Amino acid sequence: MLNHKHTLVFFTTLAVVLVAIDWSFDVPGWFYAAIVLLFISVEAYGAANIAAGFHIHSFCKGTTGKKEIALTFDDGPTPQSEKILDLLKAANVKATFFLIGHRIAGHESIVRRMIDEGHTIGNHSFAHNYWYDLKTKKNMLADLKRTEELIFSISGKRSKFFRPPYGVTTPALSNAIRLLGYQSIGWSMRSLDTQEKGTEFTTKRIVERLQPGAIVLLHDTVKGTEFVVQKLLSDLPAKGYQVVPLPQLIEKEPYV
């Protein structure tokens, strides 16, 4: 299986062999450059593709053969989250919300509502900025713990589910996840709701790509996502699909 450890061993060994050969033969400089470029490309692919399990195994799909899926929402809590919660409550559907720590302050009541209505809460980092993946392991640990404590102060629960910001994994983040005992959660169906291409486009994209065990990625921060959710909850039964809680779909406990 292609992963960070195997890749590092392979390219390190290759570099040692090339240096040894270079003592007797003139290895062109462009060959070294090509090897470095290939290494960077493999690492970049592994970091950006959460389903590859390059740095850490992530649950991206359930193992069920039944027409069951899970709905997950990233980047809240915000007032927009309540529109989603209203729809889920009316349909008696449970979802998972991956929360950004710095957005919790001032929205504690929304987090309490999520918990009270039986939804699962996960950690989605505190900062969630474009420079997040450049943090050291120490900084990653501090960041994750900061959100963890905020969630615990409101819910009395410590989540075991963590979704990496942007779905990007790095050695530092993967080590932090393991040390804190989190389960990394990915997705198998990206809705692209953040691109705001319209309710019809987003709903059609999801429905046409559905498979048993799908984990659907949505955002409770995007205006219009509530209409996508409303349409999904209306259309899925006709397709024979049922929305189930993420812990049930992947058979993992969500809290310590």
Query: Which residue is associated with the tokens 């509530």?
Result: 226
State the alpha helices, DSSP H only, in the chain.
4-22, 29-48, 79-91, 108-116, 137-155, 171-180, 199-209, 225-235, 246-250
Q: Report the distance separating Cα 193 and Cα 199, nearest Å.
A: 8
Q: Among residues 107, 124, 128, 219, which one is catalytic?
A: 219
CA dist., res. 94 & res. 83, Å (int): 14
Instruction: Please say if 4 is a catalytic residue.
Output: no
Distance between CA 84 and CA 120 in Å, rounded? Answer: 14
Active-site residue 219, yes or no?
A: yes
Q: Catalytic pick from 55, 74, 124, 193?
A: 74
- If one counts every other C-beta atom within 10 angstroms of the C-beta of residue 43, the result is 18
CB 161 within 8 Å of CB 136: no
Torsion of CA 218, 223, 227, 229, to 10 degrees: 20
CB 211 within 8 A of CB 64: no
Active site residues: 74, 219
